[in-house]
Structure 1
Amino acid sequence: MEAYRKSMASHNLPVFTSVILTWMICSYFPAICSANRNRCTMSTSLVTIQDRRIIDGDTRATMYCSATVEVNQCEGLCKSWELPSATSPNGFDKVLWKEIGQRSKGRTRGINTLGRNRKSCKCCKERYLESRTVLLTECRDLPRADGGVLLPGYVYPLEITEPASCRCETCTI
């Protein structure tokens, strides 16, 4: 019995070592281990709105306003399947998947078999949009490229639309 335990311990050591090694790799390099997961998130980026032509309602004077504002954007990766195609104009065809999900005797049958039920091409997109007002704070009498002079005290409100939430959605190719 003792010899059996020693032989089993030596067989389990490589399995234990590979589990620990996999855990360490996934801890330090999560992108490697999460390649099959959806990673669609909302981030912010700086956008420069340049030289919007504005006509003052009171004086009818024309000015050009600019600003750099922080806006939300959707970015990330989503599970998506495509196949190369010689007949498609862009060189790829969408793979359509059919998930039956019927349980028979404790087993799931028919998962991920080719079918025509649902498009599998997924893109990271905005779930819904929100409007908000940003202030263009650098107003000039001429466009910046033409050497416009800064007009102190002028501010122009501009309404922008940006994502309020992001998720993986069916692509509209």
Structure 2
Amino acid sequence: MANFLTKTLFLYTISIVFCLAFGQMSNRGDENCETLPSEIHLVKEEYDELGRLQRTCNAEVTVMKCEGLCNSQVQPSVITQTGFLKECYCCRETFLKDKTILLTHCYDPDGVSMRSFRVSFAIILTCACTLRQNLMPEVSAQENDVQRTTDECQVTPVIHVLQYPGCVPKPIPSFACIGRCESYIQVSGSKIWQLERSCMCCQESGEREASVALFCPRAKNGERKFRKVNTKAPLSCMCRPCTGVEESAIVPQEIAGYTDEGILANQFRKSPQLQFA
């Protein structure tokens, strides 16, 4: 009878926490990847077959750039090798179009005015927040010079449903990195027409680890019906370039058997803003 009441109370507590989580599901800000005009100073040099400079042309050109805030998150996951499931979105071009530009200010090496020069380039037409498929850092020549102050990246309490083959799913208190970070893509003028890219994602800057006991009724003869599974969670979060999991010190946190100690209810008492992992 006592065991039945304990299980009933636990399931009732889980139901209440789940309802609270669904009621306050979204803590992510609105994305605003914008297509904005940008003025660049374009320079084009023309050489002969011997490599001698024939003329230099330049002009002030208006092109479009992508800039804004995109949502990203890192959730705990035991099915991935790293222990985290990452979802990074970047403000990127969705459509390019070839454009011919007339450079009207052309001069030879002696400064004598020459005829205009036509050049064709692919320019940005539209932008949107796009999921990054390859989590490799993007390098931008001007990334250190661009100051971003509107990033919103926080450690967020979540209820993570821990699942393992052959075992009963178990909801546990955990954490995730959820927020939105700055990213941009813009044309670099000067002598080389190139696209500078920068993408910052809300990611972990440290890890914590927990060992959780799962009940596995499908265990074969001779195998244990309780299995300990390690799961990770972010220790802290920050906007940084999209990469794989950053190696760092892991802080052990043993939470196996938490159901008897009421940790599930106490864990989220500090913050009412819950998310589902």
TM-score where L is the length of structure 2: 0.33
The reply on whether 1:45 has 2:69 as its aligned counterpart is no
The reply on whether 1:68 has 2:60 as its aligned counterpart is yes
The reply on whether 1:158 has 2:119 as its aligned counterpart is yes
Between Structure 1 and Structure 2, the one with more helix by share is 1
What is the match of residue 36 of structure 1?
A: 29
* Aligned-residue offset at 1:61: 8.0
Percent identity, please.
28
What is the match of residue 129 of structure 2?
A: 168
Q: Does the CA contact (< 8 Å) of 2:45 and 2:53 recur in 1?
A: no
Matches of 2:85 and 2:96 in 1, distance apart?
A: 25
Q: 1:69 to 1:150 in 2, by over 3 A?
A: farther
What is the match of residue 107 of structure 2?
A: 140
Matches of 1:38 and 1:61 in 2, distance apart?
A: 47
Matches of 2:119 and 2:28 in 1, distance apart?
A: 40
Equivalent residue letter for 1:133: T
Q: 1:135 to 1:41 in 2, by over 3 A?
A: same
**Paired residues for 1:109-128 under 5 Å:** 119-128=86-95
Residue-by-residue CA offset, 1:70-114 (whole Å, 9 max, x unaligned): 001111111112xxxxxxxxxxxxx258xxxxxxxxxxxxxxx88
Q: Does the CA contact (< 8 Å) of 1:135 and 1:156 recur in 2?
A: yes
Matches of 1:79 and 1:167 in 2, distance apart?
A: 12
* Aligned-residue offset at 1:133: 0.6
Matches of 2:78 and 2:112 in 1, distance apart?
A: 62
What is the match of residue 149 of structure 1?
A: 111
Q: 1:149 to 1:162 in 2, by over 3 A?
A: same
What is the match of residue 69 of structure 2?
A: 77
Gaps of 5+ in 2: 1-26, 137-277
Task: Quote the RMSD (CA, aligned, Å).
Answer: 3.2
Q: 1:151 to 1:162 in 2, by over 3 A?
A: same
TM-score where L is the length of structure 1: 0.50
